[in-house]
Structures are given as structure tokens and as C-alpha cells.
Amino acid sequence: MRVILVLVLGLLISSCGKPTYFRSLSDAEKSDLIKYKKQYKVDDTYRILIITNYGNMIVKLFNETPLHRDNFVTKVKAGFYDSLLFHRVINNFMIQGGDPTSKKATAEDRLGSGSAPGERIPAEFRTDQGIYHKRGALAAARDNNPEKASSNCQFYIVQRPAWRTTQLDSTMVQRNLTLNETQKKLYTTQGGTPHLDGGYTVFGELLTGFDVLDKIATTKTNSADRPIENVRMKMFILTEPKKLK
């Protein structure tokens, strides 16, 4: 009995100070996963469930951005995002995650420069097809490269709520933005980040979980915009098209 107690105490002591990974799914979450899969009919759209310790979000991937779509799907299937953090959170702007170094990061580590093996993803701007940085837009983060190519793993979800018309007009002047009537209506009714249009690739959108998006965006952060309490993710594919061009 004494040997067993010593072993148990040793395990407990050795685990102290280590980062906690995403816990096992609860029975309720497993039930939700089945429910979500039944909720959507299989069509030509990928839908992804993002489970976090703040709740669940579901995103749809755009077929108009096939390079980003396929890259994201491949990583979700491989479990790449499991236990990674939303490491950069700015209220009234966006939440960002997908840095692979965040999985084992300590509270003192600075995050945001990690990437997956492989090249950047070529930009796929689709503003000409009405794909903008509206509230709930799923977009690829990137570094400051001249081609505006995307990170092959880091992403963000736009959280900014609707603008007042005077706010948007003032921002357009300050940032020298030219917005069409569709964009103006979109940003003053739904919200979003107009200054990112044409600079970062939007490759999907949030379908459900806007309340979760807001909970994460308003969590307490440190000086580097990293949440004080780790916000971990785990992803599952809900619908997978049988055929795509």
C-alpha cells in the first residue's frame, strides 16, 4: 500500500506546473456532436465544429477559397488544432488561434509566430464575390509579406459588432478606405472589420456560436492580448462534401 501511495504522489507532483491539454469530451458534448452532425444535410459545404471551454462554435468553409479550405480541412482531420489556444484576443476586433507552439506554452511564453510545416497559403481575396470581413468571418492570419500570403495554420474570427454610420464614415476617412454600398450596409448592420478587406483572406464564416465568440473576446487578457485563462480548442468535421470542383 505504501508503494502505491508513493507512486501516486510522485505522479501528482510531476504533473504540477505542466500545461493542461484539452480535456476529454463530456457525455453532453458527445451528444451535441451527434446532434450537430444530424442537424446539417450533406451538400457541397464543409462545416466544422469548434469546441472550446467557453462553448461551441460552428463555421462554414467557402468553396470560393479552395486552397485555404483544403488546408484547414486537412489540419482538422489530422487533429492539428486539438488543444491549441486562442492566444490573441481583442474585444471589438477578433479572436485569433492556431499557433502550434501554444499547445505546450507556459503563461510567460509569447505566442503568435508559430507555423506548421510547409509553405504559406497564396492569398485568395474574393471581395469581388461579396466575401468581406463581416462579423463572424473566418480568416487567415499572416505575417508582413509582400504577397500577402496566409499563415498555413493560424486563423482569426472577426468579432467587431455593428458600426454606427458616423463611426464608419470617420474610419473611412482616417484609413482612406473606399467601401461600396454593400460593404457599408454590411458593416453598419452586422459589424466587421472593413480595413482588413483585400489584405487578408476570408475563407469561411461563423454559423452558430456568436455568444461564445463574444465570451472569448471579452475574457481578461494580459498586455500581449493573451487570455489569462487558457482558451483551448478542439475541432470536428460535421459535414464533408462528396464531390467538389
Which contacts of 101-108 are long-range, i.e. CB under 8 A and separated by 24 or more positions? Answer: 103/19, 103/21, 104/19, 105/19, 106/19
Cβ atoms 130, 205 nearer than 8 A: no
Q: How far is CA 240 from the centre of its chain?
A: 19
pLDDT-derived band at 14, boundaries 50, 70, 90: very low
Question: Which pLDDT value is given to residue 20?
Answer: 58
Residue 121: pLDDT band (50, 70, 90) is: very high
- At 157 the three-state DSSP class reads strand
- Axis-axis angle for helices 165-174, 181-189 (nearest 10): 130
Q: Is the pLDDT of residue 19 over 60?
A: no
Higher per-residue pLDDT: 19 or 37: 37
Mean pLDDT, the chain, whole residue set: 90
Distance CA 226, CA 221 (A): 5
Q: Nearest Cα to 158, choosing from 44, 29, 57, 232? A: 57
The domains located in the chain, with CATH, are: 25-239 (2.40.100.10)
Query: Grid coordinates 499563415 are at which residue?
Result: 151
For residues 114 and 227, give the distance between their C-alpha atoms in angstroms, rounded to a whole number: 17
| Residue whose entry in the numeric block shows the C-alpha cell 499572416 | 142
Q: What is the pTM for the complete model shown? A: 0.89
Average pLDDT over residues 54-74: 97
Binned at pLDDT 50, 70 and 90, residue 31 comes out as: confident
User: Position of cell 507555423?
Assistant: 115
pLDDT tens string 75-87: 999 999 999 999 9
Residue 10 has pLDDT above 70, yes or no: no
Q: How is the beta sheet containing 86-90 ordered, strand by strand? A: 86-90, 94-97, 155-158, 137-140, 202-208, 55-61, 47-52, 233-239
pLDDT digit string, tens, across residues 130-176: 999 999 999 999 999 999 999 999 999 999 999 999 999 999 999 99
Highest mean pLDDT among 6-10, 28-32, 195-199, 240-244: 195-199
pLDDT class of 51 with cuts at 50, 70, 90:
very high
